[in-house]
Copies of this chain bind each other. A is one copy, B any other.
Amino acid sequence: MNHKIAPLYDALCIYERKQTVSLHVPGHKDGQAFDQQASRHFREILKIDATEVNGLDDLHHPTEAIAEAQRLAADAFGAEQTYFLVGGSTAGNLAAALTVCQPGDRILVQRNAHKSVFNGLLLAGAHPIFIAPEVEPETDVATGIEPSHLRKALQQYPDVKAVWITNPNYYGMGINVTKLVDVCHQAGIPLLVDEAHGAHLGQVANVPCSALEAGADLVVQSTHKMLTAMTMASMLHVQGPLIPRERLAAILAMVQSSSPSYPLMASLDVARRYLIMQGREQLANTVVMLEKQREQLAERLQCLSIWTDKGTTYSRDPLKWVLTSRHSPVTGYQLLAWLEDMGCVAEMADTKNVVLVFAIHNSEDQVKRTVQAIQALDAKLQQLPVVEKQKNDGSILLTEPGQLIEPAISLQEAFHQKKKQVPLAEAIGKYSAEMVIPYPPGIPLLAPGEKITETHITAIQQIKAAGGYFQGASDEGMEKMFILVNP
């Protein structure tokens, strides 16, 4: 296929050159009616911020430029069919849930999933059976699920409609997806993969393989995260006979805007072209350069460590560096703040680690500045009193890898029921009305509809005492939580 062209972007350039009188939306009329003070940033993009006029196709019924751009993307990513997403991977995950589940259907879901996976299941009225992931021992971060655990889970719940995993995790740690595909296909059900953090996987030999290469049936990728599309522009890929395509297309048209953004769609088109024409070569070189820098740096660091998998995970994304303080009781949040003071803004942190995200192409200057900042941070830590870190007590996670958790009622039922916020002690014996997610490792301790035990509350208090952070909790201090009034 001819990857030199960008059919959708090219169609927009033709639209721009036509210079017709716009008697249609949008109201900024190709930028002619717009805030002058913001003109510098918006002027050029507004010229292609068009709508579905002749020649610009229709995202929800593509037959021309969008269809062609999607075909080129499918070729680049190894899919049979690719759908452009203007609502981010969120839209892809909502659509995935609604496509494979009817109300009341059971589905096996890796428990450390993104909230859009939970929201998709909620909207679909599905009954998820959660399966607890492994934990990487050096970083205490949740990774993926083991094929043997999946096989057991499918024996226990043979009626599930699909299996839904997240891979790689936010830290770039990956599992062997091929083996999970085998388990699913033996059971005749599809494997869905939230590959939001892995749009670059499989593109060159020195990064891990992609979910599509591994044979997954439906894959959602945030093209804006690790590749170069505009933020909120993602892709959904499918292959094989297990995903009903017509139903998927109908649902995507349901959960996405009927006025989709052409700049976002065109950015997916040119992100694909850039990847094939230059990006792959740049990515391969970037990985070589980063690995060399990482190894050299690792040797020089005294108080910080850069995570390297020593057989604890199946794969590692070389575009991510996970830094941990070795000795002093310094949290990942603190590391992130200090790096920001040095002009280096990291992606995210947890109580223990901070995560740096490189791109397929980084200026050498920026990588040097990063290495210098990390060394300066290490020197700073050397000034702090040495306090040997306590080993995390894994038991506070409550779940053993592979453990299955089935909420008493569906996420949807829990959402719609009356709820009230009560002090933790009063919650024992009641049913949770919110997600309680200690971070790390990001495995929900409680999902809506799950019965709250004394052990849960003790765990929450232990995690709080350890300085843990609860993602998206209704009470940030986690003194109170929402319970169902009449479960």
Give chain A's interface residues, CB within 8 Å of chain B.
6, 9, 12, 19-29, 32-35, 37-38, 40-51, 53-54, 86-91, 94, 102-103, 114-116, 119, 122-123, 125, 199-200, 222, 224-232, 254-264, 266-267, 270-271, 273-274, 277, 279, 282, 339-340, 343-348, 356-363, 366, 369-370, 373, 412, 416
The residue of chain B having its C-beta at the shortest distance from the C-beta of A40 within the complex is B44
Given A24-B357, A45-B45, A54-B340, A262-B231 contact (CB < 8 Å): yes
The residue of chain B having its C-beta at the shortest distance from the C-beta of A362 within the complex is B29
Rounded to whole Å, the gap between the CB of A347 and the closest CB of chain B is 4
Given A33-B361, A274-B35, A229-B28 contact (CB < 8 Å): yes
Asked if B258 and A21 sit within 8 Å, CB to CB, the answer is no
Which one of B6, B40, B50, B347 contacts A25 once the chains associate, using CB atoms below 8 Å? Answer: B347
Most buried by B among A115, A224, A227: A224
- Expressed in whole angstroms, the Cα–Cα distance for A270 and B6 within the complex equals 30
Chain B residues with CB under 8 Å of A361's CB are 29, 32-33
The residue of chain B having its C-beta at the shortest distance from the C-beta of A15 within the complex is B345
Query: Assuming A25-B226, A26-B231, A35-B274, what are 16 further A-B pairs, CB within 8 angstroms?
Result: A20-B343, A23-B345, A27-B227, A27-B360, A28-B230, A29-B366, A33-B279, A35-B270, A41-B48, A42-B267, A43-B44, A88-B257, A90-B257, A125-B125, A231-B262, A232-B264
- Expressed in whole angstroms, the Cα–Cα distance for A346 and B226 within the complex equals 39
Asked if B6 and A38 sit within 8 Å, CB to CB, the answer is yes
Chain B residues with CB under 8 Å of A45's CB are 41-42, 44-45, 230, 263
Asked if B28 and A359 sit within 8 Å, CB to CB, the answer is yes
- Expressed in whole angstroms, the Cα–Cα distance for A21 and B343 within the complex equals 6
Asked if B25 and A225 sit within 8 Å, CB to CB, the answer is yes
Asked if A366 and B257 sit within 8 Å, CB to CB, the answer is no
Asked if B232 and A86 sit within 8 Å, CB to CB, the answer is yes
Asked if B263 and A22 sit within 8 Å, CB to CB, the answer is no
Rounded to whole Å, the gap between the CB of A93 and the closest CB of chain B is 10
- Expressed in whole angstroms, the Cα–Cα distance for A273 and B49 within the complex equals 20
Asked if B37 and A6 sit within 8 Å, CB to CB, the answer is yes
The residue of chain B having its C-beta at the shortest distance from the C-beta of A279 within the complex is B33
Asked if A28 and B228 sit within 8 Å, CB to CB, the answer is yes
Q: What are 18 inter-chain pairs, A to B, with CB distance below 8 A?
A: A6-B35, A12-B41, A20-B345, A21-B345, A24-B357, A25-B225, A26-B229, A27-B357, A29-B361, A33-B282, A37-B273, A41-B47, A45-B230, A51-B231, A54-B340, A87-B91, A125-B125, A232-B261
**5 residue pairs, one from A and one from B, having the closest CB atoms:** A88-B257, A35-B270, A23-B356, A35-B274, A33-B361
Chain B residues with CB under 8 Å of A256's CB are 87, 90
Chain B residues with CB under 8 Å of A228's CB are 26-28, 33-35
The residue of chain B having its C-beta at the shortest distance from the C-beta of A358 within the complex is B23
Chain B residues with CB under 8 Å of A348's CB are 24
- Expressed in whole angstroms, the Cα–Cα distance for A21 and B45 within the complex equals 25
Chain B residues with CB under 8 Å of A34's CB are 228, 270, 274
